[in-house]
Amino acid sequence: MRLHRIAIAAFLAASSPSGATPALAFATSPIRVHHRLSSPSSLILLSTLLAHRSSTSIAAAEGKDVTEGECNVTDDNEIDTPPLSQMYDEEYPGTAVQRLKAVHERVAVLANDGTLDGKWEDARRRLLWAGGLRDLPNAAPGQGYTGHSFNDFNHVDLTAMNDGSSDNLNDGTVKGIAVGNRLGPGIRVASLPELGPGGSWSTCAMGCNSDPPNDVAHVQFRSRVAFKLVWVPNDNFDEFVLVDDEGKLLAKGKPSDGPGALPNRREREMNYGIMKGSKYATVAESLASSNSTAAAE
């Protein structure tokens, strides 16, 4: 116990600008405590206090601010906080902005590695991976099932929504979609965490041809789409493009086992049909036109 008092007195003396013990002389006043400190504990305390004093003195010698209090300590090696524009989307505040950027980085990989021109099912799994979704073809619908993702005309919007929006419901505003449309539990099960905060889902694209879009992503989740799959209106509807929320091309593919292994042709035609007349159809229409011209030549 005596060593404990000596340790405190030594620290206070070392902390004083003059090196003298402050007026509050703990060493000469009785200290009442409610537990015993063994000698090893006292030695550890003394070492810790003196080490703190030493580091403070070094910092002062280097001209750094050593004002007491953890909140006043500055660290030159602190991680820079991203600007607000990189963390929050003012127009669509449900967007998981950092996650969306991570999705775009993965799509850039697909645009160059040739997998979107491979077998359709392999390409579809790569789309899930790029979008931050697990391949869960055997899960129950509503509990993470992703077997339908990019496999019909409608579930082709890869949406990255933040945690505060993933439980949003459709109040009936999105036409053609069930009122409620509770997707939150499935989003949490299927989303890959390594892409950042929030979750991912292949939401319904119906309503995207209005301005502004009146689809599940933009209305129910108040989120942008990271990418949208659009089938190209060529003779066989056997090629697709991925476009971003502004309709700009991110990647394209023509599966090697098409058209037989692709989603049903009617689904592919309907997919283009719900995009027609919108910014999301422009790239697909341009590609179909250029392919037609090239074939004619």
pLDDT at residue 180 in the model: 86
Give the pLDDT confidence score for residue 54 in this predicted structure: 46
Which pLDDT score is estimated for 59?
Answer: 46
Q: What is the pTM of this model?
A: 0.71
A 10 A CB-CB count for 68 gives 8
**How much is the pLDDT for 226?**
98
Residue 199's beta-bridge partner residues? 161
3-state DSSP assignment of residue 286: helix
Give per-10-residue mean pLDDT for the chain (297 aa): 48 47 40 42 46 47 47 47 70 97 98 97 98 97 96 98 91 85 94 98 97 96 98 98 98 97 98 97 96 68
What contacts 178, CB < 8 A, 6 or more positions away?
Answer: 170
* AA identity, residue 93: P
Own/partner contacts of 254-259, CB < 8 Å, gap of 24 or more, are: 254/116, 254/117, 255/116, 255/117, 255/118, 255/119, 255/120, 255/123, 256/117, 256/118, 256/119, 257/119, 257/120, 258/120
Burial class (CB in 10 A: 0-12, 13-18, 19+), 234: middle
